[in-house]
Amino acid sequence: MTLKTQTPDQLDHTKIAGKLLSAILSFFILIGLDQITKHYIDTHMNLYDSISVIPNVFDIHYIRNAGAAWGMFQNQQILFYICTAIVLILGIILYLRCLRMNRYTDLRVLLILILSGAVGNFIDRIRYQYVIDFFYFKLIDFPVFNVADCYVTVGFILLLIIILFKYKEEDFEMLFSLRKHN
């Protein structure tokens, strides 16, 4: 009886497949969490109802937003579809490139977070022509937002931090060059 051994290439492909599967699973779990929270709000609250969580600071306030933050671009669904498609395409390409290079784990995690948020709100826009929002920081009168918005916002803030303080110009040249890197 002979034992089959995997070549280094096969091991690399197995590792990449495992990381990709983990990313896809995380992506769908995050989207699921967003959709579950929106469904819960939609089925357990009336539109414009509020529940005070921390009096005069934080409320659960159910609204339907056909625009972006602060009410910008109301009813411009085509614009949101186009922007989401562009973000998804570029994000997936960048994610796969990082994965193939077996580098930039933190960037890959942030891309999953950002893409999950984009898809979570995209699902609402396709289904309803608006996004269900419900987190409201009353103290600072911040725009009402949702779980998907948290993913995108936290993802972009952390992305900005690692771009400014962690990665060097060489990293970006390698990541965005047209040459194949190992």
Q: Which residues are known to be catalytic?
A: 133, 149
Q: What is the pLDDT of residues 116-133, one digit of tens each?
A: 999 999 999 999 999 999
Q: What are phi and psi for residue 63, nearest 5 degrees?
A: -135, 165
Counted residue by residue, the chain has a size of 182
Percent of the chain clearing pLDDT 70 (strictly above): 88
Whether 14 contacts 124, CB under 8 Å: no
What's 113-145 look like in SS3? HHHHHHHHHHHHHHHHCCEEEEEEEHHHCCCCE
**Global pTM value:** 0.84
